[in-house]
Amino acid sequence: MSSINGRPPILQIENLVTRFYTPEGVVHAVNGVNITLHEGETLGVVGESGCGKSVTMLSTLQLIPQPPGKIENGRALFHNNDLLKMAPDEIRHVRGSQIGMVFQDPMTSLNPVLTIGQQVAEPLMIHLGMSKKEARERVVELLRLVGIPEAEKRLEEYPHQFSGGMRQRVMIAIALACNPQILIADEPTTALDVTIQAQIVELVKRLRDELGMAVIWITHDLGIVAGLAQRVLVMYAGFIIEEAPVKELYANPQHPYTLGLLASLPRLDSSGYRRLKAIPGTPPLLYREPVGCPFAPRCDYVVDKCKQNPPLMQVGEDHWVACWVDPHNGGRLR
């Protein structure tokens, strides 16, 4: 069993395949993804919109709508129990108490007609069997933990009375209510301004260190994971195309797509001004069965061998890439 710094895996996703059967055709959303998360680790999952990041995690927790979605293959082992084979009651218990999830838009995730106090208390009463009085005391603790001032007064307020950043803090409080072992954050800062984004990231880092939980942070922004994650997975067209420790990925990116993502980030350490680079072309249509390297139509280093889809190949310690060529060596084959 592999481990990081002696820590065993807490979640292992193996060969996950998810499809959506729509009137327009079959969407190949996730194509044989393998992910290992270790105890106490923060894993960043990065890629542009529609690459399969969120669908991978929603599939793991049986949260995709079925139909039109269908998990065609794979396992998701959480403490050696397969989440994909669990009955609805079993997986609901895991989702509520052992794996917490924070979604992208708190306004659509929170119920507008229930008070904040009721919504944070619900998992405590359902999963931990707390009385209303016990749950109320714990809710006040949780709201204080996530940095909401005057927590006792705000229990009786409704979501529309909170700002976007405060609503996201409430969502984090709900996800943490039962002390989960894993927190999955699905682009939780996308709808927030930059200052509030930084506060939410710092909050999650502090809570991770205090509570010792593992975190999966899904984002399209490589800048956010730089100071948050220990390891990064880069996804494209439903595939994992690069995996590395965060410092290694920034210092030595090996996939042309990762190079493109990093070149599109503004940097403060550059001497003078530097034009941001855009990745040419458009993301692939996932209605088509993937044939060959999915990034080939947009790649500057494409060769004949790219007609075959490359597997993940090891290029360094804990560094893997799905690319036949070495972009740092003139595009020669590895």
Does the pLDDT at position 244 exceed 80?
A: yes
The residues, any chain, with a CB within 8 Å of residue 314's CB and separated by 6 or more, are 320
Does the pLDDT at position 33 exceed 90?
A: yes
pLDDT of residue 316: 86
Task: Give the predicted TM-score (pTM) of the model.
Answer: 0.87
Give the least confident one: 49-63, 101-115, 202-216, 219-233.
101-115
pLDDT of residue 11: 93
pLDDT of residue 2: 46
Q: Alpha helices of the chain — where are they, by DSSP H?
A: 53-60, 88-93, 106-109, 116-127, 132-145, 151-154, 164-176, 194-211, 222-226, 246-251, 256-263
Determine how many CB atoms are found less than 10 A away from the CB of residue 40.
Answer: 18
Q: Tell me the pLDDT tens digit for each residue of 251-298.
A: 899 999 998 888 877 666 555 556 767 778 888 888 887 788 999 888
Q: What is the average per-residue pLDDT within 324-328?
A: 87
Q: Tell me the pLDDT tens digit for each residue of 183-235.
A: 998 887 776 677 777 877 888 888 888 888 899 999 887 878 888 899 999 99
Does the pLDDT at position 5 exceed 80?
A: no
Determine how many CB atoms are found less than 10 A away from the CB of residue 107.
Answer: 14
Contacts 24+ apart (CB under 8 A), 268-276: none
User: How would you class 69 by CB atoms within 10 Å of its CB: exposed for 0-12, middle for 13-18, buried for 19 or more?
Assistant: buried
pLDDT of residue 202: 83
Q: What is the average per-residue pLDDT within 78-101?
A: 88
Q: Tell me the pLDDT tens digit for each residue of 147-190.
A: 888 888 888 889 888 887 888 888 888 888 888 899 998 887 77
Q: pLDDT class for 317, splitting at 50, 70, 90?
A: confident
Q: pLDDT class for 76, splitting at 50, 70, 90?
A: very high
Does the pLDDT at position 243 exceed 50?
A: yes
> What percentage of the chain reaches a pLDDT higher than 70?
93
Give 206's Cβ-side CA count (13 Å radius): 10
* Closest-CA residue to 10 (of 37, 33, 49): 37
Average model confidence (pLDDT) across the chain: 85
Q: What is the average per-residue pLDDT within 139-144?
A: 88
Q: pLDDT class for 74, splitting at 50, 70, 90?
A: very high
Does the pLDDT at position 20 exceed 90?
A: yes
